[in-house]
Amino acid sequence: MIKYILSRRGACAFKFFALLSGSVFMGGCSTNPATGEQQFTALMPAQQERQVGAQEHQKIVQQYGLYEDQGLQAYLQQVGQRVTQKTERPDVRYSFYLLDTPMVNAFALPGGYIYMTRGLMALANSEAELASVLAHETGHITARHSAERYSRGVVAMLGAAVLSTAIGDSKVSDALGLGTDLYMKSYSRGQENEADMLGIRYLSRSGYDARAMADFLRNMQAEGVLEARLKGQDDAGGLADYMSTHPATQERVTRSVSEAAKYAPGGVVGRDDYLRRISGMVYGESAAQGFVRGRTFYHTELGFAFTVPPGFTLINQPQQVIATSKSGALIVFDFVANPGGLSAQEFMRRELLKDRPAEVEAIEINGLRGATTFFNGSAGGRSLVIRLIAVPWGQERIARFQVAYPPNYSAAGVEALRASTYSFRTMSAADKAAIRPHKLVTVTARPGDTVARMAARMPFDDYGQERFRVLNGLRPGEEVVTGRLYKTVTE
């Protein structure tokens, strides 16, 4: 029954709402002017969308930060305003923001707030491809997908509460609430198709080549495969951030090609001008996020570094750094608040162990007085040895390592993990000056240049040619053309 309630037409036709709260929801269905479809958006009316977007906008900016390049910010606004000038919702005031993160993502908030990361901007290969992403996100706004998801989500939670009350089991409500939360974080296939359809419409109306969306989606597929390989996965299960919420299936690419064919051919592409505009942009991590260089993580702003064992892959996330290996061992590094200024040993006992019985040993790591302990645990049904390391960092923070490995892990492997945590160190001024962000630079292919030669000039130790191909939207076997502009990465 709940699944039926969450369907678009079912939400408007079924009278379960009347049983719950009289006629509160009965007038909540309307016909969307962009899609022509009826949808249930009663719990987030149009006039409330801007307010919700404004509140969430502050959180987005605080979490990611805006990229400090006024030229690129203005350019994004320019392209975005062009794409949104002929939508079916003139009541929306659109605004566009370039976020300072290497994540490959774009998303929209209710009320016309549209975000693109510099990671995604680096992946696009023309102004038309950039516009296709903004047009797609605009489609989510004009189709009111956020309002629709929010309204359905509230109804699902309400239904869960009623069901749990009826059977006297609060766990039902908790379980369904979790499902609703996951549902709210990604778009349905139907919503993605709608946003693509509307995005291609807006591309054509604003004079861009409508085929650019399919071109971009193809490159996102290649990016997903490459990202999986870089993380040591066998397939694209660890897709790019954009693909995790905007699945770029082959079916979706095919639909985009078919939809674009309905519009007049041609239109603005803007490849060379776009590549020149983004030349010089930071590529990958910035000083505010820390840098992964081989097996070492450096954070020049906070002034620390550490190195993981051979065979481990470093993953830099906003709140933590994770090192994974196929051997089953794991390292997680993060900072924990220590407002009381406790010593490492006392913090370990009171805050990390919560006074559970365990031996806490005092240690010294490169002049820093820390503490460590270990105990047996489990995760995902596997027995693991867990080791915790805590090192004071300033007066109110603790640097924490959480290390996990199988009980039968080799002595050499255990020693390598120990050496990794003991590699934690402060960075000197010279160390900080030596680690700089990578830059995206546009160059012209010279006579004799090949994919292999141009890829070899980039500062990567692995998958150089694959990185160059994905960065430039080149398909397998396609070669560079003399005199043509291409994106490269430099130190």
Least confident of 25-34, 205-214, 281-290: 25-34
Q: pLDDT band for 320, please (50, 70, 90 cuts).
A: very high
Average pLDDT over residues 151-168: 35
Question: Would you say residue 178 lies in a domain?
Answer: no
Q: What is the mean pLDDT of the chain?
A: 81
**243, pLDDT greater than 60:** no
The answer to whether residues 217 and 335 belong to one domain is: no
The answer to whether residues 138 and 213 belong to one domain is: yes
CA 476/CA 483 separation, integer angstroms: 20
CA 271/CA 266 separation, integer angstroms: 14
Pick from 449, 456, 480, 455: nearest CA to 468: 455
Least confident of 87-101, 175-189, 275-289, 346-360: 175-189
pLDDT value at position 248? 54
Average pLDDT over residues 249-254: 81
**336, pLDDT greater than 90:** yes
Residue finishing a domain among 223, 253, 278: 278
**32, pLDDT greater than 70:** no
The answer to whether residues 412 and 448 belong to one domain is: no
The residue among 263 and 134 whose pLDDT is bigger is 134
Burial of 289 by CB count in 10 Å (0-12 exposed, 13-18 middle, 19+ buried)?
A: buried
Question: Would you say residue 13 lies in a domain?
Answer: no
The answer to whether residues 90 and 217 belong to one domain is: yes
The answer to whether residues 264 and 121 belong to one domain is: yes
Contact, 94 vs 138, CB < 8 A? yes
pLDDT value at position 414? 95
Q: What is the CATH number of the domain that holds 479?
A: 3.10.350
Average pLDDT over residues 313-321: 88
The answer to whether residues 203 and 113 belong to one domain is: yes
The answer to whether residues 260 and 322 belong to one domain is: no
Q: What percentage of residues in the chain have a pLDDT greater than 70?
A: 78
Average pLDDT over residues 232-250: 56
The answer to whether residues 252 and 359 belong to one domain is: no
Question: Would you say residue 41 lies in a domain?
Answer: no
The answer to whether residues 267 and 307 belong to one domain is: no
410 token code pair: 């080799």
Residue finishing a domain among 220, 248, 278: 278
pLDDT value at position 111? 83
Question: Would you say residue 156 lies in a domain?
Answer: no
Question: How confident is the model over 94-122, as pLDDT tens digits?
Answer: 999 999 999 899 988 888 889 999 999 99
**37, pLDDT greater than 80:** no
The residue among 107 and 162 whose pLDDT is bigger is 107
- Domain hosting residue 142, numbered range: 46-148+185-278
Bridge partners of residue 402, in order along the sequence: 332, 388
Question: Would you say residue 361 lies in a domain?
Answer: yes
Question: Would you say residue 373 lies in a domain?
Answer: yes
Contact, 491 vs 441, CB < 8 A? no
Q: pLDDT band for 357, please (50, 70, 90 cuts).
A: confident
**473, pLDDT greater than 60:** yes
**210, pLDDT greater than 50:** yes
pLDDT value at position 7? 41
The DSSP line for 231-280 is TT-SSTTS--HHHHHS---HHHHHHHHHHHTTS-S--B--HHHHHHHHTT
Query: How would you classify the pairing of strands 291-293 and 330-337?
Result: unpaired
Q: pLDDT band for 398, please (50, 70, 90 cuts).
A: very high
Bridge partners of residue 405, in order along the sequence: 385
Question: How confident is the model over 275-313, as pLDDT tens digits?
Answer: 999 999 999 998 888 999 989 999 999 999 999 999 998
Q: pLDDT band for 148, please (50, 70, 90 cuts).
A: low
Split into its structural domains, the chain has a count of: 3
pLDDT value at position 33? 54
Question: Would you say residue 225 lies in a domain?
Answer: yes
Question: Would you say residue 20 lies in a domain?
Answer: no
Long-range contacts: 303-308, Cβ < 8 Å, 24+?
303/426, 303/427, 303/432, 304/393, 304/399, 304/424, 304/425, 304/426, 304/427, 305/423, 305/424, 305/425, 305/427, 305/431, 306/333, 306/420, 306/421, 306/423, 306/424, 306/425, 307/420, 307/423, 308/420
The answer to whether residues 270 and 335 belong to one domain is: no
The answer to whether residues 426 and 443 belong to one domain is: no
Residue finishing a domain among 256, 278, 300: 278
Average pLDDT over residues 258-264: 89
Q: Residue with structure tokens 């999986």? A: 228
Q: pLDDT band for 20, please (50, 70, 90 cuts).
A: very low
The answer to whether residues 415 and 479 belong to one domain is: no
CA 108/CA 121 separation, integer angstroms: 16
pLDDT value at position 281? 97
pLDDT value at position 354? 87
CA 105/CA 102 separation, integer angstroms: 9
Q: What is the CATH number of the domain that holds 358?
A: 3.40.1000.10
Which residue type is seen at 383? Answer: S
The residue among 319 and 151 whose pLDDT is bigger is 319
Q: pLDDT band for 175, please (50, 70, 90 cuts).
A: very low
Least confident of 169-173, 227-231, 246-250, 255-259: 169-173
